[in-house]
Amino acid sequence: AGYGRDGFIQVLNEVESELKSSKGGDFFMGKDVSLVDFMFAPFLERMAASLIYFKGMETLESYQLTKSDYYTHCWDLPPQLGGCSYESDGELYEKAINGERTLDGSRGSWELPLEKDCGGIEPDWKWCGDEGAALREATERLSFNHANIIKFAARGAGRKGMPPYSAPLSDPNATPNEAVLASVDTALRLVSLAMLDGTESYEKDIIAFANTLVKEGGADFAQDTVNSLAYLRDRVGVPRDMRLPAARQLRAHINW
């Protein structure tokens, strides 16, 4: 019901039938990947992000390099399609994918220590290496273009752009709040150090920094800094900015 669900199911059945009839392999044209598979694969991936269903080509390096994560797809898909239909039974998964709560509701799903497979929501990308590799990738991506990243994050405390865009996380005309650039820079430097050396090494530093923000800048200034960090966290895209393991680490360390 709603948004052509019956037609959607019918098309999936037709695709499944076509794949079953393919001779000599698991792809549309047989054992070898063809242009048809590459054209159709992104749609399957987007379905996986929304429906917790997966059918892809993860063994291919060329596919791995372009693979996105559930969070990125769930936010960029509705504007592309003109809207998506929500199911009440999916609320737990929505909150888990958005980093709000784990499936059991015990804590945020973007909190350290990160749960394996996002608590059962999305499989980890084992081909990306171990946790150390993910932390190094996140740090490198954050520091490589740090000046522009800081300005981008400061939009969270700035003014929204005009005209507004249909994509909730997209606002290319937004104006950053330059007053928070230094505080955002300091926060992200601490985040980078924590990713390289461990959060326990910088617990006192982050607490001292937070106290200084409130004491010297006031509660509103401190909140502007927090809003800027959250703005950046929510807009870490996969694979545009980094791969999923690195993105999970960065999102969680910003929450730290």
What pLDDT, in 10s, does the model give residues 215-249? 999 999 999 999 999 999 999 999 999 999 999 99
Q: What is the pTM of this model?
A: 0.77
More confident of the two residues 17 and 192:
192
The CA-atom distances, in angstroms, between 175 and each of 65, 96, 201, 228, 232 are 32, 30, 35, 12, 14
Average pLDDT, the chain: 89
Cα–Cα separations (whole angstroms), residue 185 to 154, 165, 198, 253, 254: 10, 27, 19, 15, 12
Question: d(Cα 48, Cα 52) in Å, to the nearest integer?
Answer: 5
Tokens of 223: 């909140």
Contacts of 109 (CB under 8 A, 6+ apart): 95, 96, 97, 98, 99, 100, 101, 102, 115, 118, 119, 121
What 8-state DSSP symbol labels residue 49?
A: H
In which band, very low, low, confident or very high, does the pLDDT at 51 lie, cut at 50, 70 and 90? low
Give the contacts of 205 (CB within 8 A, at least 6 positions apart). 190
Could you tell me the pLDDT band of residue 202, with boundaries at 50, 70 and 90? very high
Higher per-residue pLDDT: 175 or 4: 175
d(CA 50, CA 44): 10
pLDDT of amino acid 1:
46
Q: How far is it, in rounded angstroms, from Cα 4 to Cα 168?
A: 23
Q: Tell me the helices (H) and strands (E) count for the chain, helix number first.
A: 12, 0
Beta bridge partners of residue 219, listed in sequence order: none
Under the banding of pLDDT at 50, 70 and 90, the label for residue 48 is low
